[in-house]
Amino acid sequence: MADKTIHFVSLGCAKNRVDTEIMLGVSGQVGFTHVEDPADAEVIVVNTCGFIQPAKEESIDTIFEMAKHKDGRCHKLVVSGCLSQRYADDLAKEMPEVDVFLGSSDMLKLGDVLKGSTPRLWVGHPAEHTIAATDPRTLTQRGHSAYVKIAEGCNRSCSFCAIPGIRGKQRSRTVQDIVMEATRLASLGVREHNIVSQDTISYGRDLEGRATLAELVSAVADVPGVDWLRLHYLYPEKLTQELVDVIRDHESVLRYIDMPLQHAATNMLKRMRRGHGGQRLYKVVDRLREALPDMVFRTTFIVGHPGESEADFQELCDFVSWAKFDHVGVFTYSHEEGTRSGEMDDLVPEDEIMARRDHLVSLQRPISRGKLQDRIGEELEVLVDGVSDESDLIMEGRWWGQAPEVDGKVYLVNGEARTGQLVKALVREASDYDLVADIVGADGEVDLPPDVEPVKRKRKLQLI
């Protein structure tokens, strides 16, 4: 057992995961070894989420669960991230078990925390730090994939969102710094680079010279070793033709659109302060489908926002039925203090919110299943993540239409592959969210056991 051991719990979004990876890198620099079991750790760090009520509850429950280990080997419990940034004073009073509180931009302070005595409440201002390529970072994702956080904070004023108050105003990294990080990640074998931020479409507007997202994407996609470049959290306004052209024309940029639309009824979009009406969204979807006919479209919606009527919800359902998205996430509204929506009193009853969520999920499920069933007999490029969680006899990965952790998997049931390899796979089965496929060999054939029927391949049309 190493003398200096540390255990991390990372909660919340992909952006929080990047912060945890930086703290993991910081801890390594000062001589700590990461351990998987918290019972083996001298120090435990919980990087929290404080965005909505369920996330806050999960964070608090996790802190108390980790605090139990202070009866054993653990002598220091550190809480960082959005929850401590948002409720620092309250948490310090209510949680004597916690030795140090850090905020949402205090990752580099962990080194001093581990080396010796620091203030118990050491929560800085969100704008004090923006991550950089020179920050230490230890990757935690499977399958040669990583997130690249291109900015911190957000300048928008969506009525339901507490993030600007927690993370501060938008702070974009320079193109050069992001390219430097992408180059380093590629040298470590990362093939899939997932661009994330609070508001990706607004990248660069706060920089001198106003670099554009299209410029950044082109520069990162040109880095040798970046095989897949995926964009997350695009906003439906300011979608420039230059960016659409880059997505369409650059071989490494995936035709995968992740655009959280939140609602489709004009009344609700106005109450949410989204800056556009419902008809704008129909036009955006049409425009993207025309420019990128083979694109995969992921979105998210919020149901039960104050003032959402039956007619508003039906308008949302009609939009989902029309758009036929590939992937849809449905969130129930969380009434958050410090937001404009949190001051509204025309609340939707909780049981009605849950019923609407269930209805929208059931509406989308056959759409998602039908799109995956259309893939049967198709040959797809798949990034192998490793041995499957379902069985150590098969491998699992994702084709480019599946983002890590949110979109389902491809189970590779026949053939051989290694983690991080890009393979051709012939789809044989589909469920609501996952695919089953056979690996295609270098000779273009599938090596099947004698008792397994081959899949009929779809004909590839050649345009002339």
Beta-bridged to residue 376, according to DSSP, are none
pLDDT for 35: 93
Give the Cα separation of 183 and 86 in Å (integer).
Answer: 34
For the stretch 200-250, pLDDT in tens is: 999 999 898 888 999 999 999 999 999 999 999 998 877 889 999 999 999
**Amino acid identity, position 434:** D
Please check whether residue 38 is in contact with residue 10, taking contact to mean a CB–CB distance below 8 angstroms: no
The per-residue pLDDT for 455 is: 72
What local confidence, expressed as pLDDT, does residue 443 receive? Answer: 76
Q: Which of 419, 421, 423, 437 is nearest to 142 (CA)?
A: 419
Residue with tokens 């203090």: 337
| Residue found by looking up tokens 């798949």 in the block | 382
In sequence order, which residues have a C-beta less than 8 Å from that of residue 337 and are 6 or more positions away? none
The first and second tokens of residue 374, run together, are: 């259309």
CB atoms within 10 A of CB 429: 15
This prediction has a pTM of 0.91
Helices and strands of the chain, counted as H and E runs: 13, 19
Intervals of the chain under pLDDT 70: 1-2, 143, 450-451, 459-464
172 within 8 A of 201, measured Cβ to Cβ: no
What does the pLDDT read at residue 460? Answer: 54
Cα torsion angle, 435, 250, 131, 153, sign: negative
H or E element in which residue 67 lies = helix 53-67
Q: pLDDT of 81-123, one tens digit each?
A: 889 998 989 999 999 999 999 998 999 999 999 998 889 999 9
Query: Which ranges of 324-407 does DSSP label H, i.e. alpha helix?
Result: 350-373
Q: What is the pLDDT of residue 461?
A: 44
What is the per-residue pLDDT for 464? Answer: 38
Say if residues 46 and 11 touch (Cβ distance below 8 Å). yes
pLDDT score of 324: 96
Strand partners, 387: 395
Query: Which of 87, 84, 106, 127 lies closest to 20 in space, CA to CA?
Result: 106
Cα distance between residue 426 and residue 458, in whole Å: 10
Q: Which CATH superfamily is domain 5-128 in?
A: Methylthiotransferase, N-terminal domain (3.40.50.12160)
**Alpha-carbon distances of 156 from 86, 237, 275, 299, 360, rounded to whole Å:** 18, 12, 10, 18, 27
Question: What one-character-per-residue DSSP string does 162-220 give?
Answer: -HHHHH-S-EEPPHHHHHHHHHHHHHTT--EEEEE-SSGGGTTTTSTT---HHHHHHHH
Domain ranges of the chain: 5-128, 145-373, 374-464
Q: Are 375 and 430 in contact (CB under 8 A)?
A: yes
Question: Which superfamily does CATH assign the domain made up of 374-464 to?
Answer: Nucleic acid-binding proteins (2.40.50.140)
Q: Which CATH number fits domain 145-373: 3.40.50.970, 3.40.190.150, 3.90.1150.10, 3.80.30.20?
A: 3.80.30.20
